[in-house]
Every structure is written in C-alpha cells, then in structure tokens.
Amino acid sequence: MVEAVEPLTIDRLNEKEELILAQSTSQCCRCCCLQKSINWVLSEQDNFQPGTNPFESPNNGWIHEESSLLGRWCSWIMPGCRAAKYVQHAGAPPEAFKGENDDWCTVQTNVHTKGLTEEDRSASIVGTHEKECTCGYCFKFGDITFPVCNCFPLPYLETKDAKGVNVGKTVYICDMCCFVPKFDVFDASGKKKFRLRPDTCVCGMCVRFRCSRGGKGKCCRVPFLVRDPHTHQPLITAGNEKHAVIDTLWSGWKNECCSQKNAYHLAFPSGLSAEEKLLLTGSGLLIDLTMFEQQQDDN
C-alpha cells in the first residue's frame, strides 16, 4: 500500500533538494492522431528505488497537459513544436490518471485527458509551464533526425506561479554545435540563471554519454547538468548527487519497453528559492518535450 505524504506545495518544494518527475501517460504506439496529452506525477527523491514504477511510489504532486489534437499530431515529426500548457498541482494524482492508458487505440479530441474534471484541473495549483506553437527542435523521419537552427521561434516553456506571476523561462538554444542540445534558463527579469547541457567530447561537438553500473540513472544515458550561465561549469547540489542535474531514470522493464514512460531525477543547485525550483521543474518538462518524448529508446 502506498503511504501518504504531505502535498508538494510551493512551501514544501522550498525544502526539497531533489525530486522525481515521472510520466504517467503511456507512449506505447503513440504517433500521429493517437498521441495523447502527457501527464506527470511528482515524488520526493528518497521515495524512489531503481527499477521500480515511479507511478506507484508515494506521489505528492502531479502535472496535467493541455494541448490540441493538431499540435500533438505534429509533434510526431517536429518534437517540441506544439502549443502546450502544463499545470502543476500539489497532492495525490486524480482518479482520471489511473485509467488514462486503458484505451490506447483512441483519439483524444479534448485538450486534456478524458475524465479529468474542471475541479481536478483547478485543484491545488502550484504553477504553470506554458508555450505557444514554435518550430520543433528537429525534423524527425523514423529514426533519422535533423536539428533545426534556422527556424524561429525555437521551443521554450514559460513558468508562472499559482497567481499567474511570471517566474522565468527555459529556452532551447541552437548554435554552431547543433548536435549538442542545450537550454538556457532565465528569471522573470530576463537575466540568465542557468545553462542546461550534457557533457561533451570531440572539442565540444558531440554529446558524451554517461554509463554507470550503480545509482538511480540508466546504464547509458545523457544527463543534462545544471551549469553556471557564463562559465558553463556544473553547479553543486545539496542533494545526493555531486552536481545539479536533470537525469533519466531506469524505471523497470515494463515502463521502459512496454508502456514507455519516461522518468527523471531533478537535483537542484544549492541555495535555490521555491520559485527557482519550480522553474527548473519546467526545464525538465521541456527537455522531455523536445529531446525524449518522441525518441523513447534514446534517453
């Protein structure tokens, strides 16, 4: 039986140095018109064990996506292009999440998951992460992708608190090293706060994969380290990791191979406010939306 934990309110978020961001919506056979809006659950880092199902852990926060059918359809070939709104809530996920993967071969015409009531959608809101329609991070044809750098605007997510006050924005960055994905995180005033980027090799031109035999990450993955915005050096975290990072987790064979649900470990830099942690939660959503949502085997 899943034990109850305190809701992940903005005040409780202020106390946390690490979170688990786990996808509750199955991506198995999701393409074209069958792509549904993707919902998420949040849990505290200490509650996760490698190989377990994050959705069955004590979840004390959840996120629902609102996006159009056309936008979700286009995401299949242009990852990250669709207009989307992610609403972050405190407390246990609603009942609608439990049955969202039962009818996989159906078309979702509403902007939100079937069965998600208006009361659910407005309950205990912590913040929102939202974007308009943009260019995709790449053009995708089967297993072949081509990064897009000469198209604007590029993908972003703007984060606001529960009152609708702007907290900041995460923006996908494409420069001369176009095969190394990177994101800049800005505060509400437009000041650059962080650079999110994997480690690199070949003079910074290629991504360096990380392989490990232990810990909570996958054995071969691409962690996005949270870096100083100017020196690009990794920042220290007060959590269990050496550096602040947004890293993919191994969530068990069923989730990895069958339901294809992504899960991420968010380790925040030391000394952040609750609003900055909310902003980096949005960064995790944007990384998934652009990089991994349509490439289930590559994260």
- More confidently predicted of 82 and 144: 82
Interior CA angle at 16 toward 238 and 231, to 5°? 45
Q: What is the pLDDT of residue 80?
A: 87
- Any domain includes 4: no
> How many Cβ atoms are within 10 Å of 281's Cβ, its own excluded?
29
Whole-Å CA distances, 236 to 52, 227, 282: 27, 9, 20
Q: What is the pLDDT of residue 146?
A: 59
- Any domain includes 298: no
- Any domain includes 148: yes
- Any domain includes 14: yes
- Any domain includes 269: yes
pLDDT digits (tens, 9 = 90+) for 63-77: 999 999 998 888 877
- Any domain includes 2: no
Q: Of 161, 163, 100, which Cα lies nearest the Cα of 128? A: 161
Whether the pLDDT of residue 1 is over 50: the answer is: no
pTM value is 0.89
- Any domain includes 117: yes
Q: Of 136, 124, 128, which Cα lies nearest the Cα of 94? A: 124
Residues 6 or more apart in contact with residue 212 via CB below 8 angstroms: 219
Contact 227, 255 (CB under 8 A): no
| Least confident span in 28-32, 39-43, 173-177 | 28-32
Domain that holds residue 80: 10-292
CATH number where 189 lies: 3.20.90
Q: What is the pLDDT of residue 297?
A: 47
- Any domain includes 215: yes
Domain total for the chain? 1
pLDDT digits (tens, 9 = 90+) for 145-181: 656 666 778 899 999 999 999 999 999 998 878 788 8
